[in-house]
Amino acid sequence: LWLGGGEPTLRDDLLALVRAARELGYAPITLQTNGMRLAYADYRAAVVRAGVTEIRFNVKSHRAEVHDRLSGGERCHALLLEALEGLAGTGVRIAADILLTRATGPDLPETVSFFASRGVESFTLWLLSAADAAGEQSDEHMAVAAEVPRIADLVPPLTAARAEARRLGVELASLHTPPCTLPPELRDLFAPTAALSLVVVGPDRRPFALETSPFEGGAYLEGCSGCAQRSRCGGPRADYVRLHGRGEFVPLGLPSLAP
């Protein structure tokens, strides 16, 4: 069971949900959170006692000013660090979901090193999406779109981050960088969303497979059907193609697509 959001620690019934899930036999039980409420010792201990077995922290950057700006509040970074420190020795597995933006991408190797030294065992990279921003001409959409990095620009920090992860003995995977956009030596970083085998149930109670969400891909291009990675790749996201074009998506074993 994966409890995410939004921010699940805002729910007053979160602990009851975790206890009920444990009684129903769910295992593992994962909590995906910004970590701020887990800075408070009593609440943190209650979450562990209720039965959460893995906590995945939403991480923007090892730099406090960047993390706080992208999180939308002061002391977000400081509270996250307090939560990590307090979880040491509890037996809960600690993971981090790192948001890749133009601001955070270049710092990726340092971010991996910083949080690995604070108990994070596994890192998953999530590319910023502009799909949920307001209308394309709105200030909100323009601001979000301006922060969506080109995958090609992420290759150097991805290379360095993978080397750092191997040195430190931690896991590193990337969800939204199709293999065709990466050099051969980085293609093993790609983790298809479908491999998570998650069925998402939102407030409207309508279940759907995570990989069918527009946030995860699905905008297959001509030539994708013949790509050697087609069976495991969800394709590019429509919002990414609108922003950066098709030129980076070169089906493996086929000629390049026109930009």
| Confidence band of 143 (pLDDT split at 50, 70, 90) | confident
* The pLDDT of residue 137: 64
The dihedral sign for the CA sequence 63, 65, 66, 68: positive
Query: In this model, does residue 255 exceed pLDDT 90?
Result: no
Tokens at residue 81, please?
A: 């660090």
* The pLDDT of residue 112: 98
pLDDT per residue as tens digits for the range 182-231: 999 999 999 999 988 999 998 899 999 999 988 899 999 988 999 999 98
Query: Residue 161 and residue 61: Cα distance in Å, rounded?
Result: 13
Of 2-11, 133-142, 181-190, 210-219, least confident by mean pLDDT is 133-142
pLDDT per residue as tens digits for the range 96-131: 999 999 999 999 999 999 999 999 999 999 999 987
Query: Residue 116 and residue 171: Cα distance in Å, rounded?
Result: 10
Contact assessment for residue 44 and residue 13, using Cβ atoms and an 8 Å cutoff: no
pLDDT per residue as tens digits for the range 27-86: 999 999 999 999 999 999 999 999 999 999 999 999 999 999 999 999 999 999 999 999
Where is pLDDT greater, at 134 or 228? 228
Q: What is the pTM of this model?
A: 0.92
* 3-state SS class at 138: coil
Neighbours of 188 (CB within 10 A): 13
Describe the chain by its helix, strand, coil percentages, rounded to 5: 45, 15, 45
Distance set, CA 187 to CA 6, 155, 175, 250 (Å): 30, 11, 11, 13
* The pLDDT of residue 135: 57
Q: Is 221 exposed, middle or buried (0-12, 13-18, 19+ CB in 10 A)?
A: middle
Query: In this model, does residue 259 exceed pLDDT 80?
Result: no
Mean pLDDT within 1-27: 96
* The pLDDT of residue 142: 81
Q: Extract the runs of DSSP E, i.e. beta strands, from the chain.
A: 2-3, 30-33, 54-59, 93-100, 122-127, 171-174, 199-201, 207-209
Q: In 3D, which of 64, 73, 144 has the Cα closest to residue 102?
A: 144
